[in-house]
Amino acid sequence: MIPLSALPTPALLVDLDRLERNIAAMAGAFAAAGVALRPHIKTSKCWEVARRQLDAGAIGFTCSTAAEVAWLQSRGVGDLLWAHIPIGPRKVAFVVDSIAQHGGGLTVSLDSVEAARPLSAAAVTAGVTVPFVLEINTGHARLGVEPASAVATATAIAALPGLRLRGVLTHEGHISVLASRPDLEQAGAAAGTLLVSVADALRAAGLPVEVVSVGSTPGATSAPFVPGITEGRPGTYVYFDGNQTRLGSCSLDQCAQTVLARVASVQRAGRPIIDAGIKAMSSDTIAAAGGVGVVLDRADVTFPEANEEHGFLSDGGEVPLAVGDLVRLVPNHACGTTNMWSHLYAVRGDVAVERWEISARY
């Protein structure tokens, strides 16, 4: 039990009351709708968080890297979706070895015959079957086949030996650019509806589709609840962040992740310098309207700029911050901030109660 004032700064904090509420609320909404919850692990990369999500009913996790997959397998999690194309010999070998070693438990994502062929060849050589979902572009235009090509691509990949089609997946990340929450809700539902129509087309072509998977935090109140969707993969919801407050996914008092920092210098009036910069916050702004993060409990103070180890606050001079003052900063993007740190402090109120490891970073 360490009071915040005695922690080293900068420090990464997670508020346990908020974390527990975020986990329970998302798990409750999914359970009530009968939709499986497969959170993205990249937001926390922390077993103590993951364990709480599993205890609340998560069926397993979505992963973005091989390191996340290997780490969760080492913790005994038996249902993982690697939502990233396993391209190149090392990733192909990793998938095949991991399925051979664990007897399954891993599904990968594919969107082309070209990426599928080496995986098929390696699976045949190893004598294993690799389950996959076909990624569909519902508007984000990152990975994913166009809906009109889905049947042809799924048929071609499913015909390759050593691979087994399980269904379809989309990441409705494009809805984050929409300014109004009703527009965003509508776009999330539209992405879900489009994915369900692709799933139906695959079934009509005689292909097996058991998984129809959407995933994002801004879309977590719309896309998963379209009839025909079987699972949702929100990740950021576990902490929320500055971007999600701007998108209306949460309020600031639901944000569980903060960076604790101290004012180190106030040589220039109105411009306090803190001991947390880009290496504490990450430079990931995504939807942020400028700024490095949100200053908690001081709506009059902004965080417009940072160097690596220094942050530049702006306090307007009315209630000036003083050297030694503590500030708590809500990152713009929780997942990017997590990847900057090797451990975090779990806090209740103003006391750090535990120190948790962050795993599987780059």
**Would you give the distance in Å from CA 303 to the centre of its chain?**
24
Number of residues lying near ligand PLP (CB under 6 A): 12
* Sole binder of ligand PLP in the list 45, 91, 174, 233 (CB under 6 A): 233
Which of 70-78, 99-107, 232-240, 292-300 is the region at the interface with ligand PLP (rule: CB under 6 A)? 232-240
State which residue, 209 or 238, has the beta carbon closest to ligand PLP: 238
> Can you tell me the distance from the alpha carbon of 169 to that of 309, in angstroms, rounded to the nearest whole number?
39
> Can you tell me the distance from the alpha carbon of 297 to that of 302, in angstroms, rounded to the nearest whole number?
11
State which residue, 12 or 263, has the beta carbon closest to ligand PLP: 12
Look at residue 36 and give its three-state secondary structure: strand
Supply angle C-alpha 217, 218, 222, rounded to 5. Answer: 100
Backbone angles phi, psi at 56, to 5 degrees: -85, 0
Which of 88-96, 126-134, 209-217, 223-231 is the region at the interface with ligand PLP (rule: CB under 6 A)? 209-217
118-177 residues near ligand PLP, rule: CB under 6 A: 171
Which of 91-99, 153-161, 231-239, 255-263 is the region at the interface with ligand PLP (rule: CB under 6 A)? 231-239
Which of 26-34, 198-206, 212-220, 313-321 is the region at the interface with ligand PLP (rule: CB under 6 A)? 212-220
83 binds ligand PLP, rule: CB under 6 A: yes
52 binds ligand PLP, rule: CB under 6 A: no
Nearest to 249 by CA among 303, 292, 287, 299: 287
> Can you tell me the distance from the alpha carbon of 54 to that of 122, in angstroms, rounded to the nearest whole number?
32
Which of 6-14, 215-223, 283-291, 351-359 is the region at the interface with ligand PLP (rule: CB under 6 A)? 215-223
* Sole binder of ligand PLP in the list 131, 224, 235, 277 (CB under 6 A): 235
217 binds ligand PLP, rule: CB under 6 A: yes
Q: State in angstroms the smallest separation of the CB of 232 from ligand PLP.
A: 9
State which residue, 217 or 332, has the beta carbon closest to ligand PLP: 217
Residues 6+ apart with CB under 8 A from 204: none
322-361 residues near ligand PLP, rule: CB under 6 A: 335
> Can you tell me the distance from the alpha carbon of 258 to that of 236, in angstroms, rounded to the nearest whole number?
14
* Sole binder of ligand PLP in the list 120, 138, 236, 254 (CB under 6 A): 236
- Measured from the Cβ of residue 161, the count of other Cβ atoms closer than 10 Å reads 9
* Sole binder of ligand PLP in the list 44, 53, 216, 254 (CB under 6 A): 216
State which residue, 62 or 221, has the beta carbon closest to ligand PLP: 62
The structure tokens 């609840």 sit at 225
- Measured from the Cβ of residue 166, the count of other Cβ atoms closer than 10 Å reads 17
Question: What type of residue is 154?
Answer: A
List the structure tokens of 63: 């992963």
> Can you tell me the distance from the alpha carbon of 138 to that of 156, in angstroms, rounded to the nearest whole number?
21
* Sole binder of ligand PLP in the list 18, 40, 45, 174 (CB under 6 A): 40
* Sole binder of ligand PLP in the list 62, 221, 257, 282 (CB under 6 A): 62
Q: Where are the alpha helices (DSSP H) in the chain?
A: 16-33, 47-55, 66-74, 89-102, 113-126, 150-158, 181-204, 242-246, 278-281, 334-338
Q: Which residues bind ligand PLP (CB under 6 A)?
A: 40, 62, 83, 171, 215-217, 233-236, 335
